[in-house]
Amino acid sequence: MDNFIFLFNEKEAKYKQVYQQIKVLITQGTLTPNDSLPSIRKLAETLQVSRNTTLTAYEQLVAEGYIRGEGRKGYFVNALEQVFLQEQEQPIMSQPKSNTTSLLFDFRAGAVDQQHFPMKTWRQMSNQVLQEPSCYQYGEMFGDPLLKEQLVQYLLQARGVSTNIENIVIGSSTQQMLLYLGFLLKDHFPSILLEDPGYNGAREAFQLHHFSIEAMPVLETGAQLDVLTHCQSRLVYVTPSHHFPYGVSMNIQQRQALIQWAQQVDGFILEDDYDGEFRYSQQPFPALASIDPSRVIYLGTFSKSFLPGVRLSYMVLPNALVQPFKERFAQFEQNASSLHQRTMAQFMAQGEWTRHIKRMRMTYKQKMQHLVQELQRQFGQQVTILGEQSGLYVLVKILSPLSEQQLIQRAASYGVKVYPTSPFFLHETAEQPMLQLGFSKLTMEEINLGVERLKEAWQP
Amino acid sequence: MDNFIFLFNEKEAKYKQVYQQIKVLITQGTLTPNDSLPSIRKLAETLQVSRNTTLTAYEQLVAEGYIRGEGRKGYFVNALEQVFLQEQEQPIMSQPKSNTTSLLFDFRAGAVDQQHFPMKTWRQMSNQVLQEPSCYQYGEMFGDPLLKEQLVQYLLQARGVSTNIENIVIGSSTQQMLLYLGFLLKDHFPSILLEDPGYNGAREAFQLHHFSIEAMPVLETGAQLDVLTHCQSRLVYVTPSHHFPYGVSMNIQQRQALIQWAQQVDGFILEDDYDGEFRYSQQPFPALASIDPSRVIYLGTFSKSFLPGVRLSYMVLPNALVQPFKERFAQFEQNASSLHQRTMAQFMAQGEWTRHIKRMRMTYKQKMQHLVQELQRQFGQQVTILGEQSGLYVLVKILSPLSEQQLIQRAASYGVKVYPTSPFFLHETAEQPMLQLGFSKLTMEEINLGVERLKEAWQP
């Protein structure tokens, strides 16, 4: 089907009418499974509406399962049984309970690109793994040996960390591992130094354990390490490769200063390397754990680099902590799925992991550049962008009389979700409203349109 | 191929020679993929060796991937690429490092039956789920809404527990949930009452939080609830449907007494219903949480009823704890795989779950009966069997001059792994050595042969 023509009424939003009409064509059988739909641009031209209108209609149809997007190929009609199945499970649009604008562009940082996900390979390997007898019993307590083997190789090659299988512990998330570690550390370390601003999820984990918390101020230019000379703590939690949220990396002098401090106070550094894979301007910096593994608890995750839903994370313990940790948790079962662990081990062993990271680095680099460009084009001097060298989000400082909260609400009323940074601050505060925009799961076109809408939303 | 004939030498164990010969036939291509092998019985007759010998050889070939067992149909040759793939990953027999007897019969309780696992359905559903956009971002913090919806229905229908989506929290394991709960409970409840003997994994979780621990003695006939009248605790952890490890169920009087106590002291009962699905003699008893949900934290898991490797557990919080828990963990990500959660939701929604439980109850009932029968046949009055009414293991009390440890070692030297019960005891001790024998992943024939070997191993 190349195009549609129909008349609009004045009562309802145009995108709703487009949505309704196409839905009727599908349910009546005029459009049949796998029929292709006109492109967003083409349909907009024919109907003489904005591309925003046709995109919104398509997005709604996708959300409800009537049609699917297949990247550059365009949009296609789904088989109807699928639709009804999905509708039963999750009614999305029927009986709207509030009249809020439905969410169209979600600049969420905690998501990954679906289009480039190696679906076929991952499925094949998962399916294969289900035949292994080891899947039918409890997995190894501290993680699957095959996955640990792969991680040993990967960490050496990609992050410069030289370690052994025995030092690696697999967990379901960084937070879960921090909570477990807390039981071990808090007897000897009553307080901990945290970056400010910093990752609030880690802060919460330490607070649950009643660590007393000291702040290490971080500016847009980097961490202020002079606090090390007069703090009480002998434990510090940092994100040296890609500071959360500012995105700065510690230089080698700072890294060495941190390590020396840990050696002097006989303490430990918790290095959270949550997205060290994605650095766009240079090679990723080697991890702190590559300088002195005896002073660093290294934390890594597959949530950004692969899929948050698999809930796979890992840590590398310094030798001194391996036995104490394993003794403390000798009666505890593994938290991460052994099916996913096994599949990931296969995926890495066959070189798919390296390919995936390379591919995603390219994809995300392009998206990042595009987002930065669009923000600059639409907002010019009104915005300052931070952290565009690496990672899956940028920070956007906005010159505006509106508060962070107001900016978020205005955006939401235009169907765009952007995220606050204020929860990351402990004592420090940003002098201007600053928002977090993730881009990983958005298409180029969605980035365009999302930023366009932000421009409208934030107009004085 | 119907049968083989070859000559044995005197140097090596016969099973090794059988193993070697068949391996050669496969690698040389005499036997080709999907060729069927003679049955264990038939080959034993032809070669004039015991069935133990042929079974052992086949088991080894299965372990190394050369052949596969297909239940009653018998054994078949695998394609060779598969074998080499598996060999690379996990060399099982090449270069034996020690001369210990390889483990042949593992009476492990923490495993499930592989043969009846609904592999095809689960795969299909997992594959489908991977297409949902929600898989590419962090899952809902306290669990997938679709899975919680299914659990609400299931808990009402199968366990008599009436609850709401809001009260359910999904986690990766019972231990992980107990650890998280501990952060919430320990401020108000400095001590906890635990069954003795009881599940050591739970005890460890409470010990990590430095709860002071009081013991509720449990005899083979049931829990001694009179401790409730004079204990300090206002918190108790119990396994009322199937006491761990004795296997007794609390009767309705005991259940009501517990609930009344919790009401009087304004406390909570942690009800661990780890395998309530598998009761063979009557209908499963309704859960404690069905009597007074305001006093019970109900804990359930898919580890026994489905697959330990998926790491899916759940709890039902009393209304009074819902908000406090969710506030305390507002910044914490979900621990269980969202792919597995989604797949399980589908699996339940389509009725597969109920079918699976019914099928497994039948299967396990047969295996349980068979194990009990074989133990009685081989050992007669020498053993007392506990807990054969439900669950995936029995306890075996043995009249023997040997200690628990010695019995385990003797069994191991005959290639049989059985498990101690002493770690479950806090103050109480068993007056006779008592071992835990799980049967879920063993075939009928393996149960036969395993018990036969135990008989040999434990001969005076």
The partner residues of B298 in beta bridges, in order of sequence, read B271, B316
Lowest mean pLDDT among A71-85, B25-39, B227-241: A71-85
- The CATH number of the domain holding residue A389 is 3.90.1150.10
- Note which residues in 307-336 of chain B have CB less than 8 A from chain A: 307-311, 328, 330-336
Give the pLDDT score at A7. Answer: 66
Output the pLDDT for position B80.
Answer: 64
Domain that includes residue B428, residue range: 105-114+355-458
Residue with the bigger pLDDT between A35 and B3: it is: A35
Strand-strand pairing, B235-238 and B191-196: parallel
Cα B433 to Cα A73, B429, B453, distances in angstroms: 69, 10, 18
Instruction: Using the 3D structure, point to which of A328, A353, A378 is the last residue of a domain.
Output: A353
User: To the nearest whole percent, how much of chain A has pLDDT over 90?
Assistant: 69
In a domain, A96, yes or no: no
Token representation of residue B204:
């460890």
At residue B322, the pLDDT reads 97
Among A77, A96, A129, identify where a domain stops: A77
Residue finishing a domain among B338, B353, B368? B353
Lowest mean pLDDT among A83-87, A351-355, B146-150, B356-360: A83-87
CB A392 within 8 A of CB A275: yes
Decide if pLDDT at B400 tops 70. yes
- Interhelix angle B352-379/B444-457, rounded to 10 degrees, is 30
The three-state secondary structure class of A385 is: strand
Q: Which helix (H) or strand (E) holds B240?
A: none
Check whether residue A223 and residue A298 sit in a common domain.
Answer: yes
User: What is the least distance, in Å, from the CA of A117 to any CA of chain B?
Assistant: 9
The verdict on residue A73 lying in a domain is yes
For residue A5, pLDDT over 70 is answered with no
Does residue A87 sit within a domain?
no
Q: Are residues A309 and A187 in the same domain?
A: yes
Same domain, yes or no: A427 and A449: yes
Mean pLDDT of chain A: 89
The answer to whether residue B93 sits within a structural domain is no
What integer pLDDT is reported at residue A321 of this predicted model?
97
Query: Are the Cβ atoms of B127 and A127 closer than 8 angstroms?
Result: yes
Residues in A closer than 8 angstroms to B205, CB to CB, are: 332
Higher pLDDT, A403 or A283: A403
Q: Are residues A265 and A365 in the same domain?
A: no
User: Is B173 close to A303, i.e. CB distance below 8 A?
Assistant: no
Judge whether A237 lies within some domain: yes
* Cα–Cα dist B378/B453, whole Å: 10
Do B333 and B392 sit in the same domain of this protein?
Answer: no
Instruction: Tell me the ipTM for this assembly.
Output: 0.78
Q: Is the pLDDT of residue B93 over 60?
A: no
Among A209-223, B29-43, B94-108, name the most confident range. Answer: A209-223
d(CA B262, CA B268): 6
Q: What is the CATH number of the domain that holds B272?
A: 3.40.640.10
In-domain check, residue B11: yes
Per-residue model confidence (pLDDT) at position B50:
83
**Closest among A352, A374, A354 to A444, alpha carbons compared:** A374
Q: What CATH number is associated with residue A39?
A: 1.10.10.10
What is the pLDDT at residue B89? 35
Predicted local confidence at residue B58, as pLDDT: 84
Q: At residue A315, does pLDDT exceed 60?
A: yes
Would residue B84 count as lying in a domain?
no
Does the pLDDT of residue B123 top 80, yes or no? Answer: yes
Instruction: Kindly report the nearest CA distance between residue A234 and chain B, in angstroms.
Output: 22
Residues 6 or more apart whose CB falls under 8 angstroms from that of A339 comprise: A126, A129, A130, A135, B307, B309, B310, B340
Strand order in the sheet with A268-272: A168-171, A313-316, A296-301, A268-272, A235-238, A191-196, A212-219, A222-223
Q: Is A34 on the interface with B (CB under 8 A)?
A: no
Count structural domains, chain B: 3
A84–chain B Cβ distance below 8 A for any pair? no
Residues B400, B411, single domain; the answer is yes
* Beta partners for residue B314, in sequence order: B170, B300
Same domain flag for A327 and A360: no
Mean pLDDT of A430-439: 93
Residue B260 and residue B292 in contact, taking contact as beta carbons nearer than 8 Å: no
CA distance B136 to A440: 10
* pLDDT tier at A343, thresholds 50, 70, 90: very high
Q: A127 and A160 in one domain?
A: yes
Q: How many CA atoms lie within 13 A of A362 on its CB side?
A: 6
Structure pTM?
0.79
How many CB pairs (< 8 A) connect A and B?
156
Check CB contact under 8 Å for A172 and B172: yes
pLDDT digits (tens, 9 = 90+) for A89-111: 333 333 333 334 577 899 998 88
Determine contact: B6 vs chain A, CB below 8 A: no
Amino acid letter, A89: E
Is residue A163 domain-shared with residue A51, that is, in the same domain?
A: no
Does any CB of chain B come closer than 8 Å to the CB of residue A190? no
Cβ neighbours of residue B455 under 8 Å, at least 6 residues apart?
Answer: B378, B379
- Whether A24 maps to a domain, the answer reads yes
> Which own/partner contact pairs does A41-45 have at CB distance under 8 Å and 24+ positions apart?
A42/A2, A42/A3, A43/A3, A43/A4, A43/A18
* Same structural domain, A148 and A38: no
- pLDDT confidence band for A153 (50 / 70 / 90): very high
Q: Is the pLDDT of residue B92 over 80?
A: no
**Of B133, B330, B340, which has the smallest distance from its Cβ to A337's Cβ?**
B340
At A284 the pLDDT is 73
In the predicted structure, residue A420 carries a pLDDT above the cut 50: yes
Do A214 and A330 belong together in one domain? Answer: yes
The amino acid that residue B240 corresponds to is P
If asked whether residues A277 and A333 sit together in one domain, one would say: yes
* Side-chain half-sphere CA neighbours of B180 within 13 A: 33
